[in-house]
Amino acid sequence: MMIHQAEFIGSSVDYRKCPDVKNPEYAFIGRSNVGKSSLINMLTNRKKLAKISGTPGKTQLINHFLINDKWFLVDLPGYGWAKASKTKKEDWEKMSRDYLLYRSNLVCVFILIDSRLPPQKVDLEFIHWAGENQIPFALIFTKSDKQSKGKTSKSVAAFMKKLKETWAELPPVIVSSAVNGAGKEEIIGFIERINQGKVG
**CB-wise, 23 or 156, nearer to ligand GDP?**
156
β 106-114/137-142 pair status? parallel
Quote the least distance from Cβ 178 to ligand GDP, whole Å: 4
Q: Buried (b) or exposed (e) across 66-101, using 16+ Cβ within 10 A?
A: bbbeebbbbbbbbbbbeebeeebbeebbebbbebbe
**CB-wise, 30 or 135, nearer to ligand GDP?**
30
Interface with ligand GDP (CB under 6 A): 30, 32-38, 52-53, 78, 142-143, 145-146, 177-179
Residue-level length of the chain: 200
Quote the least distance from Cβ 40 to ligand GDP, whole Å: 8
Quote the least distance from Cβ 186 to ligand GDP, whole Å: 14
> Which residues, at least 6 apart from 112, have a Cβ–Cβ distance to it below 8 Å?
28, 29, 30, 31, 34, 35, 36, 39, 139, 140, 141, 142
Quote the least distance from Cβ 200 to ligand GDP, whole Å: 26
Contact between 1 and 190 under an 8 Å Cβ cutoff? The reply is no
CA distance 143 to 131: 25
**CB-wise, 12 or 53, nearer to ligand GDP?**
53
Residue sitting closest to ligand GDP (CB)? 35
Q: Which of 93, 119, 96, 124 is nearest to 109 (CA)?
A: 96
Determine the distance from the C-alpha atom of residue 80 to the mean position of all C-alpha atoms in its chain, rounded to a whole number. 14
**CB-wise, 12 or 33, nearer to ligand GDP?**
33
> Hey, which residues does 142 pair with through a beta bridge?
114
**CB-wise, 28 or 195, nearer to ligand GDP?**
28
Output the CA angle 28-32-36, nearest 5 degrees: 35
Quote the least distance from Cβ 106 to ligand GDP, whole Å: 20
**CB-wise, 62 or 195, nearer to ligand GDP?**
62
Quote the least distance from Cβ 175 to ligand GDP, whole Å: 10
